[in-house]
């Protein structure tokens, strides 16, 4: 009995149709992921699975071997794209598997606790690539290898159902159209090939193999639905019922910062609130976080049952005995694009009306919440905006009459506690300590900067990485850090999550997703919770109260000789930016002498060569700069120290993703580089020798010689570069596109 083999051409068409259908149904994830960074990695995963399957079937491999090869290729792709410790940059080893396991662990935490739409951070990209890669493999096996494409529809339907069940709104219509078109293409292509391959009827071919495949696909669809429908919750409140927003298991089922990050990462801001009657810009608080866990970060504490938010007057927040002088107002808040079980409020609420029934106010946490699912509607808040003076806050004394949990600093590392003590060493009162900690973050000379892309973790302690190495992040990192530092010096603190005041639009203020924010509230006896904001925003969104109005700036200290850093000239004459593809000169295409002549072939060959040349341009530019600088360094001529310094900064940028801040002195920049890269002592000494040579070259009078015992740039630079390369191996993608040749904005996107 002979076995009819499907022609290679028909197999290629069916394989392509299976891959296209898998990609088509994956478009539904645009409804639960806030940006498109996941699309290209997922497309590569599906293409690799389809390509290996086609290769195996063309070479007549044993079918289980084809599936094994597809899985191995998928793992190799994940290692190449998402790990920095793969063997040769792409082969998965124990270290790479450890990285992937960690990323998948983070992704599952987002899956359990995130609120769609969530940002497409690397952990979520790994999860989507793995999940949709496996889906593409199943579709390929069922529709192409087994020849029953209709059964593959069960898997595709499950993929469509996942984002449809999780998205807060209806998925875009075109995602359903794309999925339907992909499935139709799969049926059409596979169906025609079955007719070409066999004259038997479809019913005759639906034998025991088809029954097994239908059952297996059904089980896989159900299991996939069980796993993926754990992605995201609207929020679980303690003590709630099993319906609506509530959950009887206590605690909270979301990470507030996940939702915050998702709003800030949106490409187009969405209007959330329109506010009228607000007498002055102030923060709109949605929730406060009480508990700090070193492993998981800040979390909501246990809520009390509270009081009816509609009663008037509402009780003062716990521990507040008097409201300091400040305006009072009746503020109307219209949630035009906001729906949540947390009702954002300004200042100290005296009464809230109009939002519907079964809303509670918790004086301990200062939040208004509900446990019943209901539509958003405009509401009115009678609000007091107290503004105690610095003198009043300095004089505030006595026991902290709030929950001791707000002072809990257990689990904070000794290094962080020591930093808090050093920052506040000259601060006599709790208010002065809080103000000193805020200045620590907002003073640009300390190196902190606002960025939605945080620096990569190197120690496993995210808080220490931010405070001592990365110093780059958004409001989550700043508020979390200041809250911990406050507790470390004995000041009760909590983290508030909500919104900045937005922008004016006539007589109203408009608050959008761009205004999502986190800040710190510190407790002062009698006056209650007082706002501090350590995030160094530069766009005017900060609404600092009067007690934090900055004093006249102190004069900048006069730099000691050799400490004032001047910009160094670029030794290379190569332009600092890579030419855009549109600026590249296209090679001339000779006209063919006759139809079918050589002209068309030259044109076809020139296009991929031009694309290849443009793709290699960043690597070529970096290599040109390196060789030019090293030649100057080896020669020991004028400018050798500057060339060595520039090469060291670029090498650090290639490996860390960000260039050290050059606004300070050469020595302070070098110190930051050594700490960030965690260089060993001998390498740090080489960097110090190089800095000494740079200072001498820039500032020393003519004829003055360098101090004895200081290594020349030609000796110091190789040792420093070798330590950088040993401590942070470059993944292949950063070798091909070195981050030092990218503008800052593109460099941050490449890093994320």
For 419-452, write each residue's pLDDT tens digit.
999 999 989 999 999 999 999 998 888 888 887 6
pLDDT at 226 over 80: no
Going from the C-alpha of 333 to that of each of 338, 367, 369, 485, 618, the distances in angstroms are 11, 16, 16, 34, 51
| Residue 306 φ then ψ, to 5° | 70, -165
- Please check the confidence at residue 79 and state whether its pLDDT lies above 80: yes
**Six-digit token string for 40:** 């290209």
CB 282 within 8 A of CB 385: yes
Q: Which of 661, 647, 635, 630 is nearest to 725 (CA)?
A: 647
Token duo for residue 660? 């050290």
3-class SS of residue 680: coil
297 forms bridges with which residues in the sheet?
A: 293
CATH class for the region spanning 266-543? alpha beta
Q: Looking at per-residue confidence, does 736 or 560 come out higher?
A: 736
Which residues are CB-contacts of 604 (< 8 A; sequence separation ≥ 6)? Answer: none
pLDDT score for 745: 44
The H-or-E segment that residue 123 falls in is helix 122-139
Q: How many angstroms separate the CA atoms of 359 and 310, rounded? A: 8
What's the helix, strand, coil split of the chain in %, to 5? 50, 10, 40
Quick one: what percent of the chain has pLDDT higher than 90?
A: 19
Q: Above 80 in pLDDT, residue 400?
A: no
- Return phi, psi of residue 5, to 5°: -100, 130
The answer to whether 690 and 717 are in contact (CB under 8 A) is yes
Average pLDDT over the chain reads: 76
Provide the pLDDT for residue 752: 47
Give the pLDDT of residue 20: 92
Distance CA 250, CA 303 (A): 10
Give percent of the chain above pLDDT 70.
72
Helix (H, G, I), strand (E, B) or coil at 141: helix
**What CA–CA distance (Å, rounded) separates 506 from 501?**
14
Of 115-124, 250-259, 577-586, 654-663, the one with minimum mean pLDDT is 577-586
Mean pLDDT on 114-137: 84
pLDDT of 585 higher than 80: no
pLDDT value, residue 265: 57
Largest CA distance in the chain: 98
Residue 746: pLDDT band by 50, 70, 90 thresholds?
very low
Contact 156, 220 (CB under 8 A): no
Q: Residue 724's pLDDT is what?
A: 85
**Cis peptide leading into 694, omega within 30 of 0?**
no
- pLDDT recorded at residue 490: 92
Contact predicate 742/622, CB 8 Å: no
Q: How many residues does the chain have?
A: 752
> How far is residue 330 CA from its own chain's centroid?
38
Give me the residues paired with residue 472 across strands: 449
* Span between the terminal Cα atoms of the chain, in Å: 57
Quote the pLDDT of residue 114: 60
Q: What are phi and psi of 517, to 5 degrees?
A: -160, 160
CA distances from 299 to 105, 207, 322, 327, 414 (A): 19, 55, 28, 32, 22
Q: What is the mean pLDDT of residues 675-699?
A: 86
Q: For residue 6, which of 132, 209, 190, 185 has the smallest C-alpha distance? A: 190
Query: Looking at residue 212, what is its pLDDT?
Result: 52
- Reply yes or no on whether the pLDDT at 570 is more than 60: no
The per-residue pLDDT for 292 is: 87
DSSP state of 728: S
The values of phi and psi at residue 105, to 5°, are: -60, -45
CA gap 575, 557 in Å, rounded = 36
pLDDT at 189: 77
pLDDT tens by residue, 722-742: 888 888 877 777 777 788 877
Contacts of 113 (CB under 8 A, 6+ apart): 233, 253, 254, 255, 258
Nearest to 217 by CA among 163, 137, 111: 137
Instruction: Give the range with max mean pLDDT: 76-85, 147-156, 552-561, 607-616.
Output: 76-85
Mean local confidence (pLDDT), 253-264: 53
* pLDDT at residue 202 is higher than 80: no
Helix and strand counts by DSSP (H, E) for the chain: 22, 19
* Contact (Cβ atoms closer than 8 angstroms) between residue 129 and residue 42: yes
- Nearest residue to 228 via CA among 107, 347, 381, 403: 107
Tokens of 41: 């990695």
- Convert the pLDDT of each residue in 495-536 to its tens digit: 999 899 888 888 999 998 888 889 999 999 989 999 999 988
Contact yes or no for 453/264 (Cβ under 8 A): no
Which of 88-92, 295-299, 358-362, 633-637: highest mean pLDDT?
358-362
- Please state the rounded mean pLDDT for residues 532-547: 76
User: Token match 């060569």: residue?
Assistant: 609
Instruction: Please count the other Cβ atoms lying within 10 Å of the Cβ belonging to residue 596.
Output: 9
Is the confidence at residue 254, as pLDDT, over 50?
Answer: no
Query: 3-class SS at 714?
Result: helix
Question: Which tokens go with 181?
Answer: 């078109």
Q: Is residue 747 scored above 80 in pLDDT?
A: no
Q: How sure is the predictor about 203, in pLDDT bands with cuts at 50, 70 and 90?
A: very low
Task: Please list the residue range(s) of the chain that carry CATH number 3.10.620.30.
Answer: 266-543
pLDDT at 474 over 90: no
Bridge partners, residue 383, by sequence? 329, 349
Residue 215 pLDDT grade (very low, low, confident, very high; cuts 50, 70, 90): low
Mean pLDDT of 534-541: 76
């Amino acid at each position: 009995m002979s076995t009819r083999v499907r022609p290679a051409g028909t197999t290629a068409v069916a394989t392509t149709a299976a891959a296209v259908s898998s990609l088509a149904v994956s478009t539904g994830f645009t409804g639960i992921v806030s940006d498109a960074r996941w699309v290209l990695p997922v497309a590569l995963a599906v293409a690799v699975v389809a390509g290996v399957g086609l290769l195996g079937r063309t070479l007549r491999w044993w079918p289980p071997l084809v599936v094994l090869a597809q899985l191995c290729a998928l793992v190799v792709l994940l290692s190449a794209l998402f790990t920095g410790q793969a063997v040769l940059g792409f082969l998965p080893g124990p270290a790479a598997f450890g990285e992937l396991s960690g990323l998948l662990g983070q992704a599952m935490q987002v899956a359990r606790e995130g609120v769609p739409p969530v940002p497409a951070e690397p952990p979520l990209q790994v999860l989507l690539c793995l999940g949709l890669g496996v889906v593409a493999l199943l579709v390929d096996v069922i529709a192409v290898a087994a020849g029953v494409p209709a059964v593959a529809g069960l898997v595709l339907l499950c993929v469509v159902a996942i984002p449809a069940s999780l998205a807060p709104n209806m998925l875009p219509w075109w995602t359903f159209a794309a999925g339907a078109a992909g499935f139709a293409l799969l049926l059409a292509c596979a169906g025609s090939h079955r007719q070409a391959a066999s004259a038997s009827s479809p019913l005759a071919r639906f034998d025991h193999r088809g029954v097994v495949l239908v059952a297996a696909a059904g089980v896989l669809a159900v299991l996939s639905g069980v796993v993926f429908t754990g992605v995201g919750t609207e929020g679980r409140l303690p003590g709630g019922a099993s319906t609506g927003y509530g959950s009887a298991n206590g605690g909270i089922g979301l990470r507030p910062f996940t939702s915050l990050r998702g709003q800030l990462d949106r490409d187009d801001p969405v209007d959330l609130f329109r506010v009228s009657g607000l007498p002055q810009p102030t923060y709109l608080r949605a929730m406060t976080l009480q508990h700090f866990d070193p492993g998981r970060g800040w979390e909501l504490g246990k809520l009390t049952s509270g009081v009816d938010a509609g009663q008037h007057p509402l009780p003062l927040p716990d521990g507040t005995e008097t409201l300091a002088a400040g305006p009072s107002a009746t503020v109307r808040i219209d949630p035009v694009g906001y729906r949540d079980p947390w009702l954002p409020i300004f200042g100290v609420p005296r009464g809230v009306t109009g939002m519907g029934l079964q809303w509670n106010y918790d004086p301990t946490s200062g939040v208004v919440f509900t446990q019943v699912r209901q539509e958003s509607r405009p509401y009115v808040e009678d609000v007091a905006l107290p503004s105690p003076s610095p003198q009043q806050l300095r004089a505030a004394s006595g026991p902290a009459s709030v929950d001791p949990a707000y002072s809990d600093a257990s689990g904070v590392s000794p290094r962080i506690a020591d930093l808090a003590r050093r920052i506040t060493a000259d601060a006599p009162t709790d208010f002065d300590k809080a103000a000193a900690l805020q200045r620590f973050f907002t003073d640009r000379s300390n190196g902190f900067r606002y960025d939605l892309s945080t620096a990569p973790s190197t120690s496993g302690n995210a808080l220490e990485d931010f405070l001592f190495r990365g110093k780059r992040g958004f409001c989550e990192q700043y508020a979390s850090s200041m809250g911990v530092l406050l507790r470390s010096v004995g000041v009760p603190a909590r983290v508030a999550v909500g919104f900045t005041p937005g922008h004016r639009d006539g007589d109203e203020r408009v608050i959008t997703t761009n205004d999502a924010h986190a800040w710190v509230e510190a407790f002062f006896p009698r006056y209650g919770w007082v706002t501090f904001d350590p995030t160094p925003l530069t766009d005017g969104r900060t609404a600092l109260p009067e007690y934090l109005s900055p004093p006249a700036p102190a004069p900048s200290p006069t730099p000691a000789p050799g400490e004032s850093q001047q910009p160094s000239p670029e030794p290379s004459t190569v332009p600092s930016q890579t030419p855009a593809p549109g600026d590249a000169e296209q090679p001339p295409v000779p006209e063919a002498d006759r139809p079918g002549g050589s002209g068309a072939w030259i044109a076809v060959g020139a296009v991929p060569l031009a694309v290849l040349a443009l793709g290699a341009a960043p690597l070529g530019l970096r290599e040109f700069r390196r060789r030019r600088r090293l030649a100057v360094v080896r020669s020991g001529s004028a400018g050798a120290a500057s060339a060595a310094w520039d090469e060291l900064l670029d090498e650090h940028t290639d490996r860390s993703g960000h260039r050290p801040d050059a606004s300070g002195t050469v020595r302070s920049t070098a110190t930051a580089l050594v700490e960030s890269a965690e260089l060993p002592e001998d390498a740090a000494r080489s960097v110090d020798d190089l800095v000494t040579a740079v200072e001498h070259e820039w500032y020393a009078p003519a004829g003055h010689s360098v101090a004895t015992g200081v290594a020349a740039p030609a000796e110091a630079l190789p040792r420093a570069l070798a330590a950088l390369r040993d401590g942070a191996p470059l993944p292949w993608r950063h070798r091909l596109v070195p981050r030092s040749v990218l503008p800052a904005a593109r460099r941050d996107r490449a890093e994320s």
